[in-house]
Structure 1
C-alpha cells in the first residue's frame, strides 16, 4: 500500500467527522480548531471515529488511544485535540 498523503488523511478525517457530527459539522476547518467543541462531540465519539478512520485509511489505532483526546498535554492532563493535532496523529500512525 502506498503512503497516505496529508491531504488524503485530512479528507478522510473530515468525511468521518461529518458523518458523526451531522448537523453540527463546521463549514471549514482550521488546524487550531478544537474537534470536540467544533462538532459538538464528546470523547465517546472517539471510538466511532477510530473505527471509521481505520477502515477508510487502512491503519490501526491502538485500542487505548482516543484520536479526539490527547492523553498527556505535557502537564499530565487530558485535553481535546485540535484538528491539526488529529491529522498529525493519524499521519504518524500511517507512516
Structure 2
C-alpha cells in the first residue's frame, strides 16, 4: 500500500483516507529548516531583543533625567514663586481675587 502525505492545500479527493471514507490524519510533517533559515531566524530574534532592550534603556534614561533634573528644577521654581508671592502680599502690592 502506498503512503500518501496530506498537504495543506490539497483537495479532499487527493487524500487517500478521504477516498476510503476514513478520517484523515491531521498532522502534516514539518519541512526541515536550512542553516540559512535558522541564521535568519536567530538574527531576527536578536534584532527584536536588541530593539526592546534599547527602548527600555531609553525609557530608563528619560525617567532618570526627569527625576533628577526636571522635577527638582520645577519644584525650585514653584518655591521661588511662592516666596515672591508672599513678599508681594506683605508689601501690599498684589490683591488676590
Q: Could you state the TM-score of these two structures normalised by the residue count of structure 2?
A: 0.19
Q: Could you state the TM-score of these two structures normalised by the residue count of structure 1?
A: 0.19
More helix by proportion, 1 or 2?
2
More strand by proportion, 1 or 2?
1
